[in-house]
Each structure stands twice: as structure tokens, then as C-alpha cells.
């Protein structure tokens, strides 16, 4: 994000997608540490049995995002992403958008799912964590 002459932060669709990907990785790492108590096998089972956990994390990240919370940034997202306008009907609710934040939410959601493969991100993360665990368990003292 860069500051422009109007004292607003400017961003691109790509920079927001990159930011959400980093946040998603941080969140699954946090879940591994806290929810699954560093048990990679339990986490693998949870992610493989149901993609609901992935969708839950994505929804929480978007919902708590500054790009949705703050009206000025939400308006910038809508203008920048251009998937939906405030005059469209939401893909998630089937209703017309009530404000910039709702419209920004759907724009970000669509951009993330069009550009990121969350299942692949989780698979790479789990493979990396498994290899770390194997290395540390087999490391001589």
C-alpha cells in the first residue's frame, strides 16, 4: 500500500490478494499451534474431511479486513476490483448490496477464489510442516 496525495492508501487487487494469502498462511499456522496443539495429523484430517474449515478461515479474514470495515477503503476496493458494483446483487446472499462494505466483501471473496487455490496452499503448508517435524524428530542431539 502506498499513500497518495489525498492521504488515502492505494492498493491493487494483486497486493490485496498477496496480503490475504499471507494472512491465510498465518491463520492456518496459528490453528496448528493452538487448535491442533502441533498435531499435524489431526490438522490434515480436519482439512481433508471438510473444506468448511478453509471457507471459515477465508470468511473470517475478509470480514475482519480493513478493506471491508472502513467505508473509504471498501469503496476503493469496489472501484479497483470491479467484479461487482453497489448496484449488483450479491453472489453470497442473493440480495442487492446495502453498502460499500458488503460490495467490497463480495469483490474480495471473488478475487481470492478466482486467484488462489486454498486447498493447494494448505497442502503445501502441511507438507512443509511434516518435513520440519521429520527433520526435528530425526535430528541427532
At residue 31 the predicted structure's pLDDT band, cuts being 50, 70 and 90, is confident
pLDDT at 136: 62
Torsion of CA 97, 103, 105, 106, to 10 degrees: 80
DSSP state of 11: -
Distance from C-alpha of 55 to C-alpha of 118, rounded to nearest angstrom = 9
**What would the grid cell of residue 93 be?**
446472499
Place of cell 475482519: 64
Q: Per residue in 35-71, pLDDT tens?
A: 766 677 777 777 776 678 888 999 999 999 999 999 9
At residue 3 the predicted structure's pLDDT band, cuts being 50, 70 and 90, is very low
Between 49 and 17, whose confidence is greater? 17
SS3 3: strand
Q: Where are the domains of the chain?
A: 1-19+57-131
Q: Per residue in 90-141, pLDDT tens?
A: 888 889 999 999 999 999 999 999 999 998 998 888 888 888 776 565 544 3
Q: Report helix angle 100-115 to 52-63, nearest 10.
A: 140
Amino acid at each position: 500500500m502506498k499513500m497518495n496525495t489525498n492521504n488515502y492508501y492505494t492498493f491493487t487487487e494483486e497486493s490485496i490478494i498477496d496480503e490475504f494469502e499471507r494472512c491465510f498462511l498465518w491463520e492456518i499456522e496459528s490453528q496448528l499451534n493452538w487448535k491442533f496443539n502441533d498435531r499435524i495429523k489431526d490438522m490434515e484430517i480436519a482439512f481433508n474431511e471438510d473444506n468448511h474449515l478453509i471457507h471459515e478461515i477465508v470468511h473470517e479474514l475478509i470480514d475482519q479486513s480493513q478493506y471491508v470495515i472502513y467505508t473509504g477503503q471498501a469503496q476503493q476496493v469496489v472501484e479497483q476490483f470491479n467484479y461487482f458494483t453497489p448496484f449488483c446483487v450479491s453472489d453470497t446472499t442473493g440480495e442487492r448490496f446495502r453498502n460499500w462494505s458488503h460490495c467490497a466483501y463480495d469483490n474480495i471473496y471473488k478475487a481470492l477464489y478466482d486467484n488462489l487455490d486454498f486447498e493447494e496452499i494448505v497442502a503445501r503448508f502441511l507438507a512443509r510442516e511434516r518435513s520440519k517435524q521429520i527433520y526435528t524428530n530425526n535430528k541427532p542431539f
